[in-house]
Amino acid sequence: MKTFAGDAELFPGVRSVAVPGHTPGHTFYVVESRDQQLQFWGDTVHAQHVQLPDPAVTVLFDIDSPAAAKQRKRVFADAAAKHYWVAAAHIAFPGIGHLRKEATGFGWVPANYSIPR
C-alpha cells in the first residue's frame, strides 16, 4: 500500500484529484483511456434532484459548506462542458452518466443499459 495526497498519478491511466469541501481530504478518482474519461465523484452530490438544478445547496455532511458548494459548481460545469463520464454514489441507478447544462443548473443523462436475458 502506498499513500498519496492531493493530485497524484496512482497507476498509468488512474489518478486522484483533490476536491476538498465536502470533507478536507475529499478526492475524485479519474480513469482515462483512449481519450475517454470517467470520474468517480464520491459524495459530491447528495440529493440529485436538488443539487443538480442548484449546486449551491449544501447538506449537514458538508464539513465546509461554502467550499463544497464552490467545488460542486466548478465540477458540474466542467463535466457538462467536457462531456466525460461521471460515476456518483448518490445518483439513481445506474449512477453513471453525463451532466448537461440547463437553463438553471444541470441535468443528468444516465448511461444507456440493458438487462441481459
- Percent of the chain at pLDDT > 90 equals 68
**Domain layout of the chain by residue ranges:** 8-110
CATH architecture of 8-110: 4-Layer Sandwich (3.60)
Instruction: Return the pLDDT at 36.
Output: 94
Which has more confidence, 101 or 6? 101
Catalogue the E-assigned strands of 1-117: 8-11, 14-18, 27-33, 36-40, 85-87, 96-101, 106-110
Give residue-wise pLDDT tens across range 16-55. Answer: 998 888 888 889 999 999 999 999 998 899 999 999 999 9
* pLDDT at 112 > cutoff 80: yes
Rg (Cα) of the chain, in Å, rounded?
14
Which has more confidence, 76 or 1? 76
Instruction: Return the pLDDT at 52.
Output: 96
